[in-house]
Structure 1
Amino acid sequence: MGLVQKDAFRTTVISYVGILIGYLNKGVLFLIILSTAQIGLINLIISIGTLFAQLANFGTVYVTWKFFPFLKNEEKRHHGFLPFVLLIVGTGIVLYSGLYILFRDQIQQGYIEKSPMFLDYYYWILPIGISYAFFIVLETYLRSLYKNIIAVFAYEVVLRLALTVILVLKWLDLISFELFVGLHSLLYIIPTMILVFYLGRINEFHLRVSTIQIPKRFKKIIFYFSSFSYINTLGGVWVSSLDVLMIAQFVGLKGAGIFATVVFLAGVLQVPFKSILRVSAPMVSDYWKHREMDKMKELYTKVSSVSLVIGLSMFLLCWVNIDFLFSFIKSEFREGIWVFFFIMIGRLVDMYFGINGSIFSTSKKYRYDIFFTVSLIIGVYLLNYWLIPIWGIVGAAISTSIALIVYNVGRLLFVWIAYKLHPFHRNQFVIIGLFVIAMMAGHFTQGLINNKWIQFLFESTLAIVLFFVPIYLLSLEKETVNYIKKGMAFVRSKFRRN
């Protein structure tokens, strides 16, 4: 867990720097400079572009995690693994670009009534989709080399700083909204180029097709695996993209703007979990390779326990202060309060079950994961189709939460039955109990103080006393407690030097 902690901490710090910049962009500048419909348009373009990238990716993410450890060999340039997967993705990009252009009229038909503005910016999907498709490949390749920092920095910090620049240009009326949309889409090339230069610098950017020395029999296994993992790769991105796509169709760009902004703010709470997952997922493949099931179980439990504490604590602090937090943005965004609640319920379950997806998708029984992923996609679509017309953007949040819970519970049970692996520890249930008590206390003390700043401090202190303090004093989650102690010791050492 030492490597996980070290890299996860670094990526978390970088991610939160990116989050601060992202909050400045989407939580402040977007709301000041753009209309809610324009915000919805930008997020619709991003959602479709992200979906395009995952479609074009052809499942190479899980292919890299599962098979790269077997082909890793610096002297043989890893048997040409990088140019091999880049060829696969390049083929996917050509295929889906053609389909996107060919079926333009059919795709646009779904947005003519509620989101007609999208039709004028249809082709700006492609720069985002193509750039992000290549970025995913290079990022996953670097993760397999246990080099996580540069990709996080490029995407979370550099890209968002570049967005800040063009937002300021739009604010000063130096560029039109039309030019802003175009520049926004072209910005996604920057992180990809940073990874290209970095791979070249560390002598890992091998593109010559002649270096591909993967045996034909092994290629067949890879293609067979990718045909299953391809659908699984789409599961997560389909959930996040489908909501915005269907809200734009049924409600309009304004609703899509509110929903996407709230989802972005909720995404802040998942940053530490994603950092842990980014580091631990490649380790799962190594454990499968060496059949180290004890280490796998230990990692599974620790990641789930740490993620549970992180997820519950951040959700608790936000929810008891939700009115305070939403008081700083436009009043029309208050509709998103319950979007935040239901989205976070689903994501908390996703965080709690930790790396079960990585364990499942890189195991010998990976074929069965397709049933869970297809069920997730169909479930989100049908629930959205039913609930969005009834409850609007809140209906989309409810459907996503229900689908994520069922999906994660199903995968958890399968891994538990098949491999006798589960993430549960008795202390976790005590932690959940403390969370419930703190939430109830926060509910009954709402509006107790007229001054919103004092109320905010009171609610936050109450949450810390009822939730954090017992966890620390009773060492209910040892990894988190040890991490806090190390941080406190570091701070004390700095003060002593001064």
Structure 2
Amino acid sequence: MGIVIKQSIKNTIITYIGFGIGAINTLFMYAQFLGDTFYGLVGFILSAANIMMPLMAFGVHNTLVKFYNEYETEEKKSQFLTFVLVLPLLIILPISLMGFFGYHQIASLLSQKNQIVYDYVWQIPVIGLCMGYFEIFYAWVKVHMQSVYGSFVKEVLLRVLISIFLFAVYFDYISPKQFVFALMGIYFATLVVMFIYAMRVKKPSFNLVFPDNIKAIFTYCFFIILSGSVATLLLDVDKFMLNFYIDINNIAFYSVAIFIATVIAVPSRAMHQITYPITAKLMSEKKHDELNELYKKSSITLQVIGGLILIGILVNINQLYTVMPAGYSDGVAVVFLIGVSKYFDLILGNNNSIIFNSKYYRAVLFLGLFLVFLTVSLNMIFIPLYGLNGAAIATLISITLYSLAKLLFVVLKMDLFPFTKNTITALGVTLLSFVVFYYWDFSFHPFVNIILKSILVTIFYLGLSYYLKISSDINFVMNSVLKKNFKK
């Protein structure tokens, strides 16, 4: 776990810096500078682009990681990279033609409830394309165990650029409408930066040659497109569908709530960058025991970290919403519902990495497709009834069922199990921390209140987790920090 801990810590720090910037953007600058309508529009465009991303990337970002180690020579690896870079054109060109000739029909459909959407629909595939190729070049550096810089570009640089343009709106250099158009340039800029870095890490000799295992590559790409679509639909279809039922400014309220809850998933995203290629390597070498150990350690480590973040959010959520514009507090229940679903998904550790590199990914994929159908159906039922909370209820049910299904496949089919007795202990510490800190507040300014309560929660939660020795990796890191401080 040495390399996992080292790069995961770096990725986590970078990702949280990015989330800190993103929090300022999401909780304050978007709402204050753009206004609810254009903020809601941005939320819809980015959600739709995220849904399109797996299709625009043709699934090759995961395919690159899975098959890269199977090629023994640098020449074969370079040929493989060239091939996967060209593959997305098979879907990009037809989509471009459909968008060009059928724009009016598509845009009219998406703007039935909110007419403002009509003029911006064409930006969705453009941003989706930039996201897709970014992930491809990011995968290229991951297989060379260089994930940190990609995390910086994705989590920090992207948000810094957004902040710059939001300030440009505030100082009247550009209008909110121009900001929406600038989003395309921002995502294209991060793509270019990622491409340049990928070529510096390992520049291949571009040579288009069909690999011997082309059938296996196409098959895997196809299923990754579907599985990636399943994952993004489960995450973003709620915001996408809200556009059809309620005023677009409500998407702004929902986006803030989702952002707050998504902070819980940051440790998983950070650890995934390095555990994914390691999981692929262990599985290709058939090292079952080492894989099972990695599975357990990633699960309990993420549970401890994620539990702290979940409690930190829930005990401070009411104070946070008191400093936000009116209307945004409608998302409090959304934070609770989505936060619980994220926490459950978090404690599955590197479950996704295991499934996507196993022979069972097809079966889980088809189950995922069923759950997407269920998600859409639940949103159609609950959004008209309960608005924002309805979308959150639908998402909670869908993500929980999908996570449970993936867990059962790994346990029953691959004889891998992520949980130990410490899983129950960690859950108990999380519940106890919530009960102790949720029902009281200091009588200070909300920001002061949040800071003080967060410090106390952190000391209580981590102290108890350390004493009970819930996670050996967490204790190792804490011991290292304590030793350094005591030496000083």
Class of the TM-score when normalised by the shorter of the 2 chains: over 0.9
Residue 423 of structure 1 aligns to a residue in which SS? Answer: coil
CA distance in 2: counterparts of 1:391 and 1:267, whole angstroms: 21
- Deviation string 1:423-460 (CA, Å, 9 cap, x unpaired) is 011011011112222222234x335x543557546644
Q: 489, 495, 498: which one pairs with 2:483? A: 489
Trace 1:194-233 onto structure 2 (pairs within 5 A). Answer: 194-209=193-208, 212=209, 214-215=211-212, 218-233=213-228
CA distance in 1: counterparts of 2:318 and 2:246, whole angstroms: 25
Residue type at the aligned position of 2:60? T
Q: 396, 399, 406: which one pairs with 1:404? A: 399
CA gap of 1:485–1:184, structure 2 versus 1, over 3 A, is same
Moved more, 117-126 or 289-298: 117-126
Trace 1:406-425 onto structure 2 (pairs within 5 A). Answer: 406-425=401-420
Deviation at 1:489, TM superposition (A): 2.3
CA distance in 2: counterparts of 1:411 and 1:465, whole angstroms: 34
Moved more, 421-430 or 374-383: 374-383
Aligned counterpart, 2:321: 326
% same residue: 24
Decide whether the 8 Å contact of 2:113 with 2:243 is kept in 1: yes
Residue type at the aligned position of 1:451? F
Decide whether the 8 Å contact of 1:372 with 1:411 is kept in 2: no
CA distance in 1: counterparts of 2:127 and 2:416, whole angstroms: 38
Matched, 1:286 2:281: yes
CA distance in 2: counterparts of 1:114 and 1:163, whole angstroms: 27
CA distance in 2: counterparts of 1:174 and 1:61, whole angstroms: 37
Matched, 1:66 2:66: yes
Deviation at 1:461, TM superposition (A): 5.6
- Deviation string 1:223-280 (CA, Å, 9 cap, x unpaired) is 1222222211112111222111101111121111111122122222222221111110
CA distance in 1: counterparts of 2:455 and 2:78, whole angstroms: 56
Deviation at 1:323, TM superposition (A): 1.0
- Deviation string 1:104-143 (CA, Å, 9 cap, x unpaired) is 3333333434211111222222331221111111111211
Residue type at the aligned position of 2:169? K
CA gap of 1:40–1:438, structure 2 versus 1, over 3 A, is same
Aligned counterpart, 2:143: 144
Decide whether the 8 Å contact of 1:60 with 1:85 is kept in 2: yes
Provide TM-score, normalisation by structure 1: 0.93
Residue type at the aligned position of 1:204? K
Aligned counterpart, 2:386: 391
Matched, 1:350 2:325: no
Aligned counterpart, 1:451: 444
Aligned counterpart, 2:128: 129
Matched, 1:170 2:169: yes
- Deviation string 1:34-70 (CA, Å, 9 cap, x unpaired) is 1111101011111122222211222223322221111
Decide whether the 8 Å contact of 1:306 with 1:477 is kept in 2: yes
CA distance in 2: counterparts of 1:89 and 1:440, whole angstroms: 50
Aligned counterpart, 2:28: 28
Decide whether the 8 Å contact of 2:78 with 2:207 is kept in 1: no
Residue 114 of structure 1 aligns to a residue in which SS? Answer: coil
Deviation at 1:176, TM superposition (A): 2.1
- Deviation string 1:457-486 (CA, Å, 9 cap, x unpaired) is 664465346532221112121111111111
Q: 226, 229, 235: which one pairs with 1:234? A: 229
Q: 281, 293, 306: which one pairs with 1:311? A: 306
CA distance in 1: counterparts of 2:45 and 2:294, whole angstroms: 37
Deviation at 1:205, TM superposition (A): 4.3
Decide whether the 8 Å contact of 2:78 with 2:205 is kept in 1: no
Aligned counterpart, 2:153: 154
CA gap of 1:249–1:64, structure 2 versus 1, over 3 A, is same
Moved more, 145-154 or 416-425: 145-154
Aligned counterpart, 2:429: 434
Residue 110 of structure 1 aligns to a residue in which SS? Answer: helix
Deviation at 1:365, TM superposition (A): 2.2
Decide whether the 8 Å contact of 1:79 with 1:214 is kept in 2: no
Aligned counterpart, 1:11: 11
| Contiguous gaps of at least 5 residues in structure 1 | none
Deviation at 1:355, TM superposition (A): 1.5
CA gap of 1:457–1:220, structure 2 versus 1, over 3 A, is closer
Residue 91 of structure 2 aligns to a residue in which SS? Answer: helix
Aligned counterpart, 1:43: 43
Deviation at 1:97, TM superposition (A): 2.2
Decide whether the 8 Å contact of 1:65 with 1:144 is kept in 2: yes
- Deviation string 1:314-354 (CA, Å, 9 cap, x unpaired) is 11111111111222211210011111111111111111112
Residue 490 of structure 1 aligns to a residue in which SS? Answer: helix
CA distance in 2: counterparts of 1:384 and 1:489, whole angstroms: 51
Residue type at the aligned position of 1:315? L
CA gap of 1:456–1:182, structure 2 versus 1, over 3 A, is closer
Matched, 1:85 2:87: no
Residue type at the aligned position of 1:482? F
Deviation at 1:285, TM superposition (A): 0.8
CA distance in 2: counterparts of 1:98 and 1:84, whole angstroms: 23
Deviation at 1:491, TM superposition (A): 3.4
CA distance in 2: counterparts of 1:330 and 1:227, whole angstroms: 44
CA distance in 1: counterparts of 2:148 and 2:105, whole angstroms: 41
Provide TM-score, normalisation by structure 2: 0.95
Residue type at the aligned position of 1:491? N
Decide whether the 8 Å contact of 2:234 with 2:395 is kept in 1: yes
Decide whether the 8 Å contact of 1:297 with 1:421 is kept in 2: yes
Deviation at 1:77, TM superposition (A): 5.3
Residue 295 of structure 2 aligns to a residue in which SS? Answer: helix
Residue type at the aligned position of 1:253? I
CA distance in 2: counterparts of 1:42 and 1:162, whole angstroms: 15
CA gap of 1:487–1:372, structure 2 versus 1, over 3 A, is farther
CA gap of 1:165–1:465, structure 2 versus 1, over 3 A, is closer
Residue type at the aligned position of 1:66? K
Matched, 1:467 2:470: no
CA gap of 1:339–1:3, structure 2 versus 1, over 3 A, is same
CA distance in 1: counterparts of 2:64 and 2:202, whole angstroms: 19
CA gap of 1:24–1:321, structure 2 versus 1, over 3 A, is closer
Residue type at the aligned position of 1:350? D
Decide whether the 8 Å contact of 2:383 with 2:389 is kept in 1: yes
- Deviation string 1:131-163 (CA, Å, 9 cap, x unpaired) is 111111111121122110221111222222221
CA distance in 2: counterparts of 1:455 and 1:200, whole angstroms: 47
CA distance in 2: counterparts of 1:457 and 1:55, whole angstroms: 42
Aligned counterpart, 2:473: 479
Matched, 1:245 2:233: no
CA distance in 1: counterparts of 2:223 and 2:126, whole angstroms: 27
